[in-house]
Every structure is written in structure tokens, then in C-alpha cells.
Amino acid sequence: MSPAVDAAELRRRTRDLLAAHPPATTDRTDFLKARFDAGLAWVHYPQGLGGLDAPRSLQQVVDAELAAADAPANDPRRIGIGLGMAAPTILGFGTDEQKRRFLRPLWVGEEVWCQLFSEPGAGSDLAALATRAVRDGDDWVVDGQKVWTSSAHAARWAILIARTDPDLPKHRGISYFICDMTDPGVDVRPLRQITGEAEFNEVFLSGVRIPDSHRLGPVGEGWKVAQTTLMNERVSIGGSRIPREGGMIGPVARTWRERPGLRTHDTHQRLLTLWVEAEVARLTGERLRQQLVAGQPGPEGSGMKLAFARLNQQISGLEVELLGDEGLLYGDWTMVRPELVDFTGRDAGYRYLRSKGNSIEGGTSEVLLNIVAERVLGLPAEPRNDKDVAWKDLSR
């Protein structure tokens, strides 16, 4: 880290960027590219890769200057999988060529990413995955099926884990790849959800050829690489920065204030309890982000994601109950395939239904409870009889 890159220096660099590329007259994509090239995209990343090797905590200095100038953002919700999962994994395990090729268009938003991890027979037990990757010269040929893939219908690239050695135990025979979603062997099919949308997809891979140059990490060490992705995923889902009364608690609190006729003593007590818990979760998320300044996310992110799922479901349930018959209304059941989910811009019925997925996506709550118990609290691990058994010999 260069000692010259402090808050004052970042302000100067940000103002130089704004002077050279005025947001009011500069094309949005051109501005974002210039910001990346100036090292102001994610300041803690290395120089030449959108950063300046500065402390992560100083990103807020840049963001504040740009917000004051009404500069365009890169729409982080639309490209959240790329920003929150693919980028830190590429940074941690990618070659110099991979970093140069993928990080800039990822951050700018020119290329959307998705995550090909879960399978019909390997959801909670992800290491039991059956998608195969077989070496063929300089390529890997991949066959299998993935499921619950957010934004696969909009993605240009995917992070993919596949089994490369069935003779090894399940955690040790996996490799990690970058998959081209435009390959003719990739078939994306919508999964209609209880909300009526198809935000998720199932993806069929038939003879998909992936060059070995698109492998992240050594052959057979994909599980280790995937842990970086999963830890970052849980932080990005459960630990995103929100203001007080942000997220799901906001609409309920507004309804409570604006419609006093709906209030009862019971709902008042429950709302107070959930408001306090939401604020505790928000502040805990701030502490977690401060810990990230010192290194990679750890298992604590699983606790944040657990709290996020539980609170969203309880808060949305209270909102529907508070609104009575009105809470049962559902605005639009039209089949759409959104690139992102808007939890707060829809009606209460939508929030109630969509929150049911929060305890599944990004790792089921049951799996996360085990992670917190074993890796955070230090409790004894559950018995695992298949730990040293070759994957091909496991019953499926």
C-alpha cells in the first residue's frame, strides 16, 4: 500500500476525474471506464485493476465525492454476483491475464455474471455435485445440470464448479472454471417462482468447451476456491450497507406511522422487537465490513446471512398481518424474467412471498447454522461418514 494514498489524495484524484470527465456531459459507460482506470472503482484493489492499494475503508471518501457530483454508479444490484462473488475470487486465484480481461468489464457492468454451483442433487451438500469436466487437450468438456441460477438469462459469464476426478473424495475432486454463457452447449431455462417471476433458472450444460486458460486455481482445488466465493456471497447478501430503517423494516415502519388505525398492542410490541433486531443486524453488518478491511471474509458472514433471512421473513409476515385483507393483494402475476429483485418497491404480498427464498439462496439456513456452530462457536462438528470416500462410491 502506498503511504501517499490517503483520504486527501483520494479526494484530489476524484476531483481530477470529475474535471476531466464531467458527469453531465460524459457518456455513462465512458465515465465508469475512466473511474476504473483512475483506480477509484474499488480503491483497495491493486493498481491497474481498478484500485490504488488503499485501505478499503477509504472507498467511502471517493463515493461521497462522486455522489455529491451526481456521478453515475455502476448499478451494483444488477451486477451484484460479479461484484460480490466473481471479482474477489478472480482477484484471489486468477492469473494476471484473467484479472486484466475480466475485472474491468465486470465492474463497469458491460458483462453480467451468474453462479453455476447448485445442482438438483447437490444443493445443501454442494460438494456432492455431479457435473463433470473432462480434459480434452487445451480444453475441458463440461456436461451436467445446474439449478437456482440467478440472472443466468442475462449473464455473459458464469463462475462454475465441476467434478474433474471422481476417484477422489467429494471435496477434493472439484475444479473451478469461468464459463462462457454464449457457448452453444449452454441451455438456460426459466424457473417460475411463487412470485410469478422467473428470476432463477436451471442451466443444462452439454459438451460445453472451456479453455484451460479459464480455470481458476489448480486442478482439483476448486472447493478451496469456491469457499472464497461463498464467504463473499454471504457477506454481500446479508451484510450490505443500508441506512437506519433501510431494507424490509422501512415499509412496515412507514405503514405503522401513516395508518394508526391498523395498530394493536400486539403488533406494536412485535414491530418494536423487529425494529431493534433489524438495527442490531445493521450495526453488526457495519462491524463485519470493518473486519473486511483487514482481510478476507470469514464464517461470520454466515451469521449475518442467517439473520437477514429470518428477519426478512418475520418482518414481511408482520406487514401482511398488519394490513389485513389489503395485505393479501398481489399486484401483478405476469411472467417476467427480471435481472434483479426489488424487495422494497413492490407491494407487501410480493415481499412476503419473495422472502421465502431468503433462507435458501446463498446457502440454506440449516447449512449456515452448522457453519456458525462449528467455525464461529467452536462446537463439535457433525459426523461425516463420507469425508474420505471416493465420490464415485457414494450412494446418490
Look up 233 and say whether it is catalytic: yes
Same domain as 359, residue 248 = yes
Say if residue 343's pLDDT is above 60. yes
Mean per-residue pLDDT over the chain, rounded: 89
The per-residue DSSP string of 170-196 comes to TTTSEEEEEEETTSTTEEEEEE--TTS
Q: How far is CA 336 from CA 111, 333, 370, in A?
A: 21, 9, 35
Same domain as 202, residue 289 = no
The per-residue DSSP string of 349-393 comes to HHHHHHGGGGGTTTS-HHHHHHHIIIIIS-PPPPP-TTTTSBGGG
Residue 109 lies in a domain: yes
Report d(CA 99, CA 102) in Å as an integer.
6
- 65: pLDDT confidence band, cut at 50, 70 and 90? very high
Same domain as 184, residue 149 = yes
Q: What is the largest CA-CA distance in the chain?
A: 71
Residue 304 lies in a domain: yes
- Residue 152 CA, chain-centre distance (Å), reads 14
Write the pLDDT tens digit of every residue in 281-332: 888 877 776 666 555 566 777 788 888 899 999 999 999 998 888 888 877 6
The pTM assigned to this predicted structure is: 0.86
Domain, as residue range, for 26: 7-68
Same domain as 353, residue 273 = yes
Residue 384 lies in a domain: no
Write the pLDDT tens digit of every residue in 5-18: 899 999 999 999 99
Q: Which value, to the nearest 10 degrees, does the dihedral of the CA atoms of residues 227, 385, 306, 310 take?
A: 150
- 58: pLDDT confidence band, cut at 50, 70 and 90? very high
Q: Of residues 233, 286, 319, 361, which has the active-site annotation? A: 233
- 2: pLDDT confidence band, cut at 50, 70 and 90? very low
Give pLDDT, residue 305.
83
The per-residue DSSP string of 286-313 comes to HHHHHHHTTSS--THHHHHHHHHHHHHH
Kind and range of the H or E run holding 316: helix 300-323
Same domain as 216, residue 153 = yes
Same domain as 266, residue 191 = no
Phi-psi region of 379 (alpha: psi -120 to 50; beta: other; left: phi over 0): beta
Residue 233 lies in a domain: no
φ, ψ of residue 60 to 5 degrees: the values are -65, -25
Total number of domains constituting the chain: 3
More confident call, 349 vs 182 = 182
Same domain as 333, residue 243 = yes
Report d(CA 358, CA 309) in Å as an integer.
5
Q: Radius of gyration of the chain from Cα atoms?
A: 22
In contact, 237 and 305? CB cutoff 8 Å: yes
Residue 14 lies in a domain: yes
Write the pLDDT tens digit of every residue in 158-171: 999 999 999 999 99
Say if residue 241's pLDDT is above 70. no
